[in-house]
């Protein structure tokens, strides 16, 4: 067992111990370190630890994260948060149990097995877990949200689904081309607010005089009915997904199929492993399970890919998913969603016509970062309910639950001195969402969605200059 001391400077923030330095553990370490927290990573593989130490000023402990002694060396007794994200569910749960007796920190476990996911409430209660995170389940929910509005590139929910952040690309010939946001508001009675625009790799938090152009990637906030009406008004074809084809029968496929079936969508899964096909047949009796090679064009043709409303490749290889998405876009009118694990070639990938792109590891890390932000903010009587990063992590959309009066409450929005590139996008009060105007006021008890290019908002007052 080796104990490395890499930290050179004291940093403000939480003391966080992360067990498991794989893909998700590495992303978490990067994000939490950059947010100003003191991070200690634990892993059995010294090369992983060395790689992390070369990139960040953190502490590393080599050893079994479930060991009482290893956790003690990692400083669990003084930690605020313990996160176990190894690739073994049972080990993660054991690590959190030992941490509970070793210290007084909150604990998060990565749990992927469907049987355990059915028992989240029991696990959280009996093992005193602050959070149970399931990457495949999170990914499935993200895909299902997009399929609820297939015209969009991305859909993110706030206030428990009462309002959505929708991303789409303005097509050639759109009535939006050449319109200012002021003109847009006067032409349309749809209650939507355009929050962010990407044009030629540049990001804008637009004001009323901002002129929209074809090719812009736009994010707007609205309720789902208003979002659908808006798409209809600007001439983007709206349709409901009735039949979905999924290639790959892994955990994400299982979780996604359950969600789609619950929503009345027909599901066809193409999986090449016979034993897994048998399992899926028992787990998903309402789905059509095809045992075959979903990367084979003849198989896809036989299974009528051209008749599918949605096509989602969920194989374990990014290259296969990309290839399949491009093929489906060429031979069908289906809504395509591409699952990609690695961000290494993001600049190249972003130039391909891949439809909506899903990064499961980013989704998982983001959920944990939101929880950590909430822990920090709760000290100041605010709480972060939801956090999304958009446009390659250059824009944040944060939902605050306003629990106490502050400099940002009780003042009309037009009189607040907001930071540059910061927008109060939505106020949710007593379950009702509204697009705010200059005369609106933030009150205690509200939920407030803020969109900004400033990373790391922790409390509502961070939106002020």
The confidence score (pLDDT) of residue 5 equals 42
> CA-CA distances (angstroms) from residue 231 to 2, 244, 355?
58, 22, 17
Shared fold status for 3-133 and 243-358: yes
The confidence score (pLDDT) of residue 403 equals 87
Residues 60 and 38 sit within 8 Å (Cβ to Cβ): no
**Residue 263: count of CB within 10 angstroms of its CB:** 12
> How does residue 117 score in pLDDT terms, banded at 50, 70 and 90?
confident
What is the pLDDT averaged over residues 242-249?
97
CA–CA gap between residue 402 and residue 324 (Å, rounded): 45
**In sequence order, what are the beta bridge partners of 15?**
38
CA–CA gap between residue 309 and residue 245 (Å, rounded): 8
- Asked if the model's pLDDT at residue 169 lies above 60, the reply is yes
Nearest to 307 by CA among 279, 282, 288, 293: 288
The rounded percent of the chain whose pLDDT value lies above 70 is: 95
Q: Over the stretch 326-358, which tens digit does the pLDDT of each residue have?
A: 999 999 999 999 999 887 776 677 777 788 999
- Asked if the model's pLDDT at residue 409 lies above 80, the reply is yes
> How does residue 165 score in pLDDT terms, banded at 50, 70 and 90?
very high
Instruction: Report the chain's mean pLDDT, rounded to a whole number.
Output: 90
Nearest to 250 by CA among 234, 269, 224, 236: 269
Which has more confidence, 188 or 289?
Answer: 289
Which has more confidence, 348 or 313?
Answer: 313
Map out the domains of the chain as residue ranges.
3-133, 140-233, 243-358, 367-463
> How does residue 12 score in pLDDT terms, banded at 50, 70 and 90?
low
What CATH superfamily is the domain 140-233?
Regulator of K+ conductance, C-terminal domain (3.30.70.1450)
Q: Over the stretch 27-71, which tens digit does the pLDDT of each residue have?
A: 999 999 988 899 999 999 999 999 998 999 999 999 999 999 999
> How does residue 187 score in pLDDT terms, banded at 50, 70 and 90?
low
- Asked if the model's pLDDT at residue 305 lies above 90, the reply is yes
Query: Given CA atoms 94, 315, 319, 150 in this order, what sign does their dihedral have?
Result: negative
> How does residue 2 score in pLDDT terms, banded at 50, 70 and 90?
very low
- Asked if the model's pLDDT at residue 381 lies above 60, the reply is no
Residues 249 and 273 sit within 8 Å (Cβ to Cβ): yes
Alpha-helical regions (H) of 177-296: 181-187, 224-233, 251-262, 274-283
What CATH superfamily is the domain 243-358?
NAD(P)-binding Rossmann-like Domain (3.40.50.720)
Four-way CATH pick for 367-463: 1.10.3470.10, 1.10.10.10, 3.30.70.260, 3.30.70.1450: 3.30.70.1450
pTM: 0.88
CATH number at 3-133: 3.40.50.720
What is the pLDDT averaged over residues 288-317?
96
């Amino acid at each position: 067992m080796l104990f490395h001391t890499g930290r050179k400077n004291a940093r403000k923030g939480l003391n966080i111990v992360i067990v498991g330095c794989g893909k998700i553990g590495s992303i978490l370490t990067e994000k939490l370190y950059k947010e100003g927290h003191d991070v200690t990573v634990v892993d059995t593989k010294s090369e992983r630890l060395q790689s992390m130490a070369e990139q960040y000023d953190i502490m590393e402990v080599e050893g079994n994260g479930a060991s009482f002694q290893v956790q003690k060396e990692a400083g669990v007794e003084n930690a605020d948060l313990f996160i176990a994200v190894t690739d073994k569910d049972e080990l993660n749960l054991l690590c959190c149990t030992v941490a509970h007796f070793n210290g007084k920190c909150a604990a998060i476990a990565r749990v992927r097995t469907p049987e355990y996911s059915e028992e989240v409430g029991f696990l959280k209660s009996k093992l005193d877990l602050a959070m149970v995170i399931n990457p495949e389940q999170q990914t499935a929910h993200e895909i299902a949200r997009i399929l609820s509005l297939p015209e969009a590139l991305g859909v993110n929910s706030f206030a428990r689904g009462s309002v959505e952040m929708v991303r789409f690309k303005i097509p050639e010939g759109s009535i939006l081309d050449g319109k200012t946001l002021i003109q847009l508001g006067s032409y349309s009675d749809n209650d939507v607010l355009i929050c962010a625009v990407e044009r030629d790799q540049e990001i804008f938090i637009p004001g009323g005089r901002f002129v929209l152009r074809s090719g812009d990637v736009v994010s707007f906030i609205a309720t789902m009915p208003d979002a659908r009406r808006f798409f209809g008004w600007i001439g983007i074809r709206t349709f409901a997904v009735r039949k979905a084809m999924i290639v790959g029968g892994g955990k994400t496929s299982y979780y996604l199929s359950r969600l789609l079936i619950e929503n009345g969508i027909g599901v066809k899964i193409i999986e090449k492993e016979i034993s897994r096909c048998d399992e899926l047949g028992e787990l998903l009796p309402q789905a059509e399970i095809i045992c075959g090679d979903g990367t084979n064009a003849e198989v896809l043709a036989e299974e009528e890919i051209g008749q599918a409303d949605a096509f989602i490749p969920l194989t374990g290889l990014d290259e296969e998913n990309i290839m399949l998405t491009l093929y489906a876009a060429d031979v069908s009118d289906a809504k395509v969603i591409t699952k990609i694990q690695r961000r290494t070639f993001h600049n190249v990938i972003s130039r391909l016509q891949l439809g909506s792109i899903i990064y499961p590891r980013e989704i998982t890390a983001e959920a944990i970062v939101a929880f950590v932000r909430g822990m920090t903010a709760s000290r100041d009587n605010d709480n972060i309910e939801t956090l999304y990063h958009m446009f390659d992590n250059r824009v944040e959309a944060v939902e605050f639950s306003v629990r106490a009066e502050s400099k940002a409450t009780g003042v009309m929005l037009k009189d607040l001195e907001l930071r540059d590139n910061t927008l109060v996008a939505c106020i949710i009060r007593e379950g009702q969402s509204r697009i705010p105007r200059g005369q609106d006021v933030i009150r205690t008890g509200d939920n407030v969605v803020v969109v900004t290019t400033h990373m790391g908002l922790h409390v509502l007052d961070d939106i002020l200059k």
